[in-house]
Amino acid sequence: MKKYILLLVTLSFSVLLTSCFEGYTSDEGDPLKKYLEPEKLKELTLNPDPSIWIIDVRSEGSYEKGHIPTAKSYSSSVIMDKLNEIPKDQYLILYCETGGRAQMVIKKLEKQGYTKMMNWGGIKRWPYKAVQE
């Protein structure tokens, strides 16, 4: 029974994230990313889905001072050197301090063939306790 419930929860989050990533289209047909509320991101941190990566593109020092739980650290200065570690078939939720750096990284990743990405904005949007390492 527990496995069945876990499967339902995982499928629900997958559907939720798919709708967050593939919602609207622009006039040119390009997909536009939907807005993901902090509460929904928190749900993802409490019930991680292996097909969804939360990526912090701030410096390693900023990451260590406090980050969103389950986030992986790939600072904007080194992420392009570590593309072999980031699968292209995963959904990527990127954030930084305010969202600008995350958007810059998304543009670079798009040029490398990544298509399933969302700029969540900045850590300042995270109203919950940050994890320190």
Please give the share of the chain, as a percent, with pLDDT higher than 90: 72
Q: Is the pLDDT of residue 36 over 80?
A: yes
Rounded to the nearest 10 degrees, the angle between the axes of helix 38-46 and helix 2-21 is 140
Global confidence as pTM:
0.75
Cα dist. 126→34, 51, 79, 96 in Å? 17, 22, 22, 11
91-128 confidence digits (pLDDT tens): 999 999 999 999 999 999 999 999 999 999 999 999 99
In this prediction, residue 23 has a pLDDT band, given cuts at 50, 70 and 90, of very low
Please report the pLDDT score of residue 8 as a whole number: 52
Class of the CATH domain delimited by 36-125: alpha beta
pLDDT at residue 103 in the model: 95
